[in-house]
Amino acid sequence: IRRADLAAHMTGTARSAETRATAQEIGLVDQVFDTAAEAVVDADLVVLCVPVGAMEAVAREIAPHLAPGATVTDVGSVKQAVIDSVAPHLPAGSHFIPGHPLAGTEHSGPRSGFAELFDNRWCILTPPEGCDPAALAHLTQFWRGMGANVDLMDAPHHDLVLAVTSHTPHLIAYTMVGVADDLRRVTDSEVIKYSAAGFRDFTRIAASDPVMWRDVFLTNKDATLEILGRFTEELFALQRAIRQGDGALLHDYFTRTRAIRRGIIDAGQDTDAPDFGRVRKHGADS
Ligand SMILES: NC(=O)C1=CN([C@@H]2O[C@H](COP(=O)(O)OP(=O)(O)OC[C@H]3O[C@@H](n4cnc5c(N)ncnc54)[C@H](O)[C@@H]3O)[C@@H](O)[C@H]2O)C=CC1
Ligand SMILES: O=C(O)C(=O)Cc1ccc(O)cc1
């Protein structure tokens, strides 16, 4: 926001005194308040950046203190649950436009942000029907100002797409690291020592914030279970092919998946590796 001078004055808050002190110390915002109720007074734009399961409590707290005509948005990884829990509490005359930047790392807290985080990444907005066009245009410009590309979607579609591209992959990473941990005799030495790229990536993902991801799965339950069901079917098919020595099936399968990866790279969306590098370079928590 500072890089592109998108706000005249930025306020912020966090639940713990320690986080608020850190935010103050590193100059993350112009003014840090003890409560969300104080932080939103006179704000044109309010961005809720809490775990999905905490959105409702924060919405209840800020609602009586919002300026008339304020725009309220969020960055939660699930959208329908946020709409259901936040919208009923906001006053008439405010504009609620949920959002989700598809950018982040396994790190949390005020020291984990860096100005380039949203550069050339997608931010999906899920405006409700009848949403104020001027408020939507402003919010779109806000995200573009931070370097993101903006797309619009309805919330259920967002939740299904993200179940495929983010939520289920995270669950699989958590599971794989859990499996390795169960094999204690391997974990204690060899898994760490000989950790090849695949498992290393899983451990990075599985180091993500437990509260945030607990809430993602609790609130995007149906879509995640749907994708997990399909994942399990495919896994069983591959398991059978391995048992039966069906090399042709495995080869065909891996040829198809390789083409998908190449499609992602051709579309300019292969941002994982540079992103990881950026986190290190910009000194986020490690
Ligand atoms: N970390 C990531 O890579 C991404 C996260 N998101 C979404 O962004 C949101 C925030 O995540 P981060 O910024 O990573 O987390 P964070 O841990 O850096 O910040 C979360 C904030 O919420 C506060 N909080 C937690 N529980 C609360 C409660 N019950 N009541 C009031 N405040 C509470 C914490 O004190 C903290 O200030 C989540 O909804 C997450 O799904 C979206 C895209 C990427
Ligand atoms: O660290 C990673 O690789 C991520 O996938 C970050 C991330 C986490 C949650 C989101 O809703 C969006 C992006």
> What is the number of other CB atoms lying within 10 angstroms of the CB of residue 111?
17
- Ligand 1 binding pocket mutation candidate from 34, 50, 214 (most atoms within 8 A of CB): 50
Q: Which SS3 state, helix, strand or coil, does residue 279 take?
A: helix
The model carries a pTM of: 0.92
- Is the ipTM higher than 0.85? The answer is yes
Residue 87, Cβ density class (10 Å: 0-12 exposed, 13-18 middle, ≥19 buried): middle
The single residue listed with the structure tokens 């779109």 is 140
Nearest CA to ligand 1 atom 38: 51
Query: Residue 42 — left, alpha, or beta (φ > 0 → left; ψ -120 to 50 → alpha)?
Result: left
- Position in ligand 1 atom list of the atom nearest CA 109: 18
Q: How many domains does the chain have?
A: 2
Are both 21 and 127 inside the same structural domain?
yes
User: Same structural domain for residues 177 and 105?
Assistant: no
Domain's final residue, options 153, 175, 204: 153
Amino acid (one-letter) located at 167 = H
d(CA 67, ligand 2 centre) in Å: 32
Residue 187 belongs to some domain of the structure: yes
Question: Cα separation of 186 and 174, whole Å?
Answer: 17
Supply the CATH number for residue 126's domain: 3.40.50.720
Query: Which ligand 1 atom is the nearest neighbour of the CA of 19?
Result: 37
Distance 52 CA to ligand 1 centre (A): 8
* pLDDT tens, the chain, 286 aa long: 999 999 999 999 999 999 999 999 999 999 999 999 999 999 999 999 999 999 999 999 999 999 999 999 999 999 999 999 999 999 999 999 999 999 999 999 999 999 999 999 999 999 999 999 999 999 999 999 999 999 999 999 999 999 999 999 999 999 998 888 777 666 566 777 777 778 888 999 999 999 999 999 999 999 999 999 999 999 999 999 999 999 999 999 999 999 988 888 787 765 544 333 333 333 333 2
Domain range enclosing 266: 158-281
Same domain, 81 and 96: yes
Do 178 and 147 sit in the same domain of this protein?
no
